[in-house]
Structure 1
Amino acid sequence: MWAFLTRTQGRGRLTLVDWLSYGYLAFGFLLIFIPVVWLGLNSVKTAFQIERQDISLIPGDYTRVARATVQGPDGKRIFFITDLPDWVLNWRDLSAADQAAQDVAGFLSAQTGDAALALRSHLGQTEPQALAVIAAQGLPDWLPRYRTMSASAKAEVNIEAALAGLSPANDRLLREFTGLYPGARLTSQILVSAPDPQTGEIRQWGVSNIDIKRAFTPARPVDAVNAKVTKLPTASLQADRNVQIAWENYIDPLSGSSYGVTVDFTRCLTNSVIVTIVGTAITLLINSMAAFALSKYKFRGQVMFLALILATLMVPPTITLVGVFKAIQATGISGSLWGIIIPGSATPAGVFMLRQYMLTLPDELIEAARMDSASEWKIFWKIVAPLALPAIAALGILSIVWRWNDLIVPLVAVATVKEAYTIQLCLLEFRGEHTSQEHYRLAMTMVSLIPTTLVFVFLQRYITTGIANSGMK
């Protein structure tokens, strides 16, 4: 490597051509390397850092504070809760097993006032506590369904009479549960220190995001209730930040414990491996046999068949989607991995590339084999296939990359059966209508890049040799 990087055109000194060559090499390397590094660093950032669109390269987490909003008879109250454990701040990103491992009841018993209301709602304890009160107090059985009842059904019941006589704490709980009061909310914000614009005193503030491109950042003081939003100069903000690598972005999806995701990523990975290996083997067999027939046999309509095959290259794949979908449905392979494998079994580009390579093989070898009473299958398997191995290997590598990264055919064939999802369909599941798990999707994108990267690194010489010898440009 060092000998290659220190080569010069001149005798011991760099010439203009050397500078241009090494500049072009460095530019190409950075053009490919920088996006991969950016993706890798973002894949180990915390969910909070990704949600706040933090553009810094180093993965880490800020010192955070919880902003609570509680709605009551006296109006809305906005305040901050400090010194909360990390598992409380990251509650919605925890798996079911991690949530069950926390002592939620003991933690809530130590809270009082509005903080207890906000934390109860944030930790998902409003519903179980309300159902327990309804059962203990012998309240009407329609109360658990009140939130989802129609307007006419709500008019037929008297909820105020049902709630009469309850203690203030239980009355508040059931009113929040039934929707009479808006549920309390708790969001995580970045804790910063900055001078007060009015007094110049250093105070602590809560901000949703720090964008260095903006001159001012909206903030609320931590030590006040219902304080108005104040615009602070972004340059004056000081936040504590620690380097933190979020390995759970990889561990949770691969172990099937990622929050808000209903697919098993390990199953998707296995499906992609099966589709890629089986599909590539079938593709190589069909394409090589078709190329052998078009290159070494002489029959009526040979040129017409080749022209039809090449004409399909000019048809955009999206135009054939309806036909592919109907064919998959008609053959009964919808919802199975065969619905992904079969439609791409024969590729026009693969047939053309192998045919061009096989045209360079001497016909005398085939004629000599026929004189020795070799069958056509034996000629193909023992003579043509080994000699065309560079082109077959190049087509195999291209087929692996295409099938591994394909999204359109799986979307048409198995979109309704999650057990048959491939890795590309699974990546779509990390972003839904109500959830967005971008930290998981970035990490699993890195995992999906590993197989194709290894294929190119170790087998790229077959791609170069096969395509160059086939005459394709």
Structure 2
Amino acid sequence: MSAVWSFLTRTQGRNGPSLTDWLAYAYLLVGFLLIFIPVMWLALNSVKSAFQLEKQDIALLPSDFERVGRGTVNGPDGREIVIIDGLPDWVLNWRDLSDDEKADRDTAAFCATLQGNAFFACRSHLGLVPQQARQMIEELGLPEWLNRYATMPAATKQDFDLEAVLSTLSDDQDRLLLEYLGVDPFKPNRLVSQVLVTAPDPDTGIIKSWAVPNVDRTKDVLPARALDNPGQVVRLPIETVDATRIIQPSWGNYSEPLTGQAYGVNINFMTCITNSVLVTVIATLLTLLINSMAAFSLSKYQFRGQMVFFFVILATLMVPPTITLVGVFKAIDATGLSGSIWGVIIPGAATPAGVFLLRQYMLTIPDELIEAARMDSATEWKVYWRIVLPLALPAIAALGILSVIWRWNDLILPMVAIATTKEAYTLQLCLLEFRGEHLSQEHYRLAMTVVSLVPTTLVFVFLQKYITTGIANSGMK
């Protein structure tokens, strides 16, 4: 920290910061913010809940409002609205829970703590109606055709006497069976999450608690239902609404994909990370070996057509990678590498940029060292392995770091080579799986994007001196 502080407080003027100092620090601050703000935005949004992201909540921190449940219950008296306060998060977010999380909850015991319409809404919301109805049919010995009644055609239903069965049941059992069969007026009940706010009553001015769908400050009024009178919809002026925010990071955005429990996603993200690590490590080693051999021959050997080969290699830098995609795909398919991670590793094993970087650096190695080794009966392999490679380590380290970043972030080549085989997906391909046609899991994708940034960030931060040293000594500007 002392070195950092010494650097930040360094000035050109003797009697204080000069104009050049102020301009330099302003430039440094602007550059820092341009890099830091997008990264912080990504990190903060990666721990926001799916609900907060779907509602396009522009709050900086991952937070949520205090919430209540609004139940819509259908019965003999028509549709009724009930507001249920004090519901735990797992009930309000029931549909977003994994199967394992649902199995750990005693839903029947929880619903038993509620009464009236609140109980009916909770029972339907937690999916207890089919389970309890089938159990009741079995325990009471009711006709088996009741389990098929809801899917029967109208003409077939007339052959069965439902009224006779209902006449043998109590009022509670009668309602449970009718909800299970979907017989009017017992349509499916619903329970949705709404925001709990406080605001004065537009008629009386008394401060009350209200349930609103969402707090949207861009609107002039909000539709609301009072907790003590949920049947009436009231429009509240937005400036009178007071909502309490709770800092609530959603760490499940990270843990669920990494443990294979992400809702609506049929991939294992840890497998994707493993594939990316294998591709990055193996491809980088092959790149360093092949490129260094090519650079050694172009820098230390004299043969006919040497410069022609070198210029041809450099010319490939001017060809956009998208132009060669069709040829790469055909080559991968013809060699049987399609659907395998080797189809990602091998096609990019040699890079013209790497050959150029290493060649320029190896030109600075004195030829006298190589001639002396040959006079001592060293083979060409020993000259390459024992002399040239150790002396070219700065450039090799720079190329290795760049290769790791290129391979880790590559998306085009994996899409060409392994898009049809999910078991071979690399990390970048897996990120695409979090956005589908009917289901968008942006909270998972943002979190896993942060995970994907960590390795390359650490490599660049801690090894950047090798990048600058290797490139500077190789003559690249």
Q: Do they superpose with TM above 0.5?
A: yes
| Runs of at least 5 residues in structure 2 that lack an aligned partner in the other structure | 167-173
1:319 pairs with one of 319, 323, 332 = 323
Q: Do 1:131 and 1:144's aligned partners in 2 also have CA atoms closer than 8 Å?
A: no
Alpha-carbon distance change, 95 to 323 in structure 1, aligned in 2, over 3 angstroms: same
Which position in structure 2 is the counterpart of 1:185?
A: 190
1:195 pairs with one of 200, 203, 208 = 200
1:206 pairs with one of 203, 211, 214 = 211
The alignment partner of 2:232 has SS state of coil
- TM-score, with length taken from structure 2: 0.87
**Range 183-192 or range 280-289, more displaced:** 183-192
Whichever residue aligns with residue 12 of structure 1, its letter is N
2:222 pairs with one of 211, 217, 220 = 217
**Equivalent residue pairs, number:** 464
Q: Do 1:350 and 1:395's aligned partners in 2 also have CA atoms closer than 8 Å?
A: yes
Q: Do 1:92 and 1:259's aligned partners in 2 also have CA atoms closer than 8 Å?
A: no
2:296 pairs with one of 246, 269, 292 = 292
Q: Do 1:334 and 1:414's aligned partners in 2 also have CA atoms closer than 8 Å?
A: yes
**Range 298-307 or range 16-25, more displaced:** 298-307
Please list the CA deviations of residues 374-408 of structure 1 after superposition, one character each: whole Å capped at 9, or x if unmatched.
22222211122122211111111111111111222
Structure 2: distance between partners of 1:133 and 1:471 = 82
1:174 pairs with one of 158, 173, 180 = 180
Whichever residue aligns with residue 172 of structure 1, its letter is L
1:64 offset after TM fit, Å? 0.2
1:13 offset after TM fit, Å? 0.9
Matches within 5 A, 1:45-444: 45-70=48-73, 76-129=79-132, 132=135, 137-140=142-145, 143=148, 146=151, 158-159=156-157, 161-162=159-160, 164-165=162-163, 166-167=165-166, 168-176=174-182, 183-228=188-233, 230-444=234-448
Which position in structure 2 is the counterpart of 1:149?
A: none
Q: Do 1:206 and 1:221's aligned partners in 2 also have CA atoms closer than 8 Å?
A: yes
Structure 2: distance between partners of 1:226 and 1:58 = 34
Which position in structure 2 is the counterpart of 1:27?
A: 30
1:460 offset after TM fit, Å? 0.2
1:179 offset after TM fit, Å? 11
Whichever residue aligns with residue 48 of structure 2, its letter is K
Q: Do 1:52 and 1:208's aligned partners in 2 also have CA atoms closer than 8 Å?
A: no
1:41 pairs with one of 24, 39, 44 = 44
Structure 1: distance between partners of 2:379 and 2:184 = 80
**Range 310-319 or range 129-138, more displaced:** 129-138
The alignment partner of 1:137 has SS state of coil
Please list the CA deviations of residues 73-124 of structure 1 after superposition, one character each: whole Å capped at 9, or x if unmatched.
7765444322212220122232322211111122234445543443233223
Structure 1: distance between partners of 2:149 and 2:354 = 62
The alignment partner of 2:463 has SS state of helix
Alpha-carbon distance change, 70 to 11 in structure 1, aligned in 2, over 3 angstroms: same
Alpha-carbon distance change, 386 to 224 in structure 1, aligned in 2, over 3 angstroms: same
Q: Do 2:286 and 2:349's aligned partners in 1 also have CA atoms closer than 8 Å?
A: yes
The alignment partner of 1:206 has SS state of strand
Structure 1: distance between partners of 2:135 and 2:347 = 55
1:225 offset after TM fit, Å? 4.3
Q: Do 2:75 and 2:185's aligned partners in 1 also have CA atoms closer than 8 Å?
A: no
- TM-score, with length taken from structure 1: 0.88
Structure 2: distance between partners of 1:30 and 1:85 = 39
**Range 159-168 or range 45-54, more displaced:** 159-168
- Indicate the RMSD between aligned Cα atoms, in angstroms: 2.9
Structure 2: distance between partners of 1:163 and 1:363 = 102
**Range 446-455 or range 424-433, more displaced:** 424-433
1:14 pairs with one of 14, 17, 34 = 17
Structure 1: distance between partners of 2:309 and 2:156 = 78
1:326 offset after TM fit, Å? 2.8
Q: Percent identity?
A: 61
Structure 1: distance between partners of 2:176 and 2:158 = 13
